[in-house]
Amino acid sequence: MTSLVKHQSINRLLWTYGVFAVAMAYLEATVVVYLRLLYYPEGFYFPMKIIPLKVAAIELGREAATLVMLWYVARMAGKSFREKFSLFAFTFGVWDIFYYVWLKALVNWPVSWTDWDILFLIPAPWIAPWLAPVLVSLALIAGAVIVLKNPDRFGDKILAPKEWTGLLIGAALILASFFTETGRVLRQGIPEHYHWWLFGLGYAAGWLVFLRKWRKIKNRKSPI
């Protein structure tokens, strides 16, 4: 099947998806602003307030729907797994970063680089300073752009199975760092210490896998 990505300007494609992600981030931020006005009228803070079960279920559904929307938008222009996954990673990254940009513009939050946030709720609250997911999103954007702009250097699966394993291990370490304070927060406590060392291990592992792949293929002219 002919790739749409190969017949379009990559920069134009990225611009289009970037604009969509920025607009979607605004929509996401406004929903959160409304929730904070309802449950944190004096400003967001921990301990986390208990919200009605029905509202929590709606929030879980909204988060799941957001991921579905991002994935299916990526499928619109991407034909191969490489293209779909890269467009998803790029759009997700831009959306996540601009979510915080819009929150800052709308309610002047976050205030500091280390402000704690509830990142996600599925399957349990992800708790970390907002800077952590932004760093992940920057990596997703960079990796996606490299892959999309070098389609002949990467195979359809982007990485070999062993490389995917290494990347997933890195992702698992990052995810683990997001859950170290979950129990405390669910017990109406205040998060105290984020394990940046655990996040750093996962982040470095992911970059190491990708950069080794890039170094291996940068002088090749045919797909792997």
Q: Is 175 helix (H, G, I), strand (E, B) or coil?
A: helix
Give the Cα separation of 149 and 34 in Å (integer).
39
Give the Cα separation of 140 and 218 in Å (integer).
19
What 8-state DSSP symbol labels residue 96?
H
- In DSSP notation, 13-81 reads HHHHHHHHHHHHHHHHHHHHHHHHHHH-TT---SSPPPPPHHHHHHHHHHHHHHHHHHHHHHHHH--SH
Tell me how far the alpha carbon of residue 154 is from its chain's centroid.
22
Residue 2 pLDDT:
45
- In DSSP notation, 106-171 reads HH----STT-EEEEE-SSS-EEEETHHHHHHHHHHHHHHHHHHH-TTTS-TTSS-HHHHHHHHHHH
67 closest CA partner among 106, 37, 24 = 24
Give the Cα separation of 33 and 40 in Å (integer).
9
User: Digits of tens for pLDDT over the chain (224 positions)?
Assistant: 345 455 458 889 999 999 999 999 999 999 999 999 999 988 888 888 888 899 999 999 999 999 999 999 999 988 899 999 999 999 999 999 999 999 999 999 999 999 999 999 999 999 999 999 999 999 999 999 999 998 888 888 999 999 999 999 999 999 999 999 999 999 989 999 999 999 999 999 999 999 999 888 876 654 44
Q: What is the pLDDT of residues 63-99, one digit of tens each?
A: 999 999 999 999 998 889 999 999 999 999 999 999 9
Residue 219 pLDDT:
64
Q: What is the pLDDT of residues 100-109, one digit of tens each?
A: 999 999 999 9
Q: How many residues does the chain have?
A: 224
Residue 221 pLDDT:
55
Residue 156 pLDDT:
86
Residue 223 pLDDT:
47
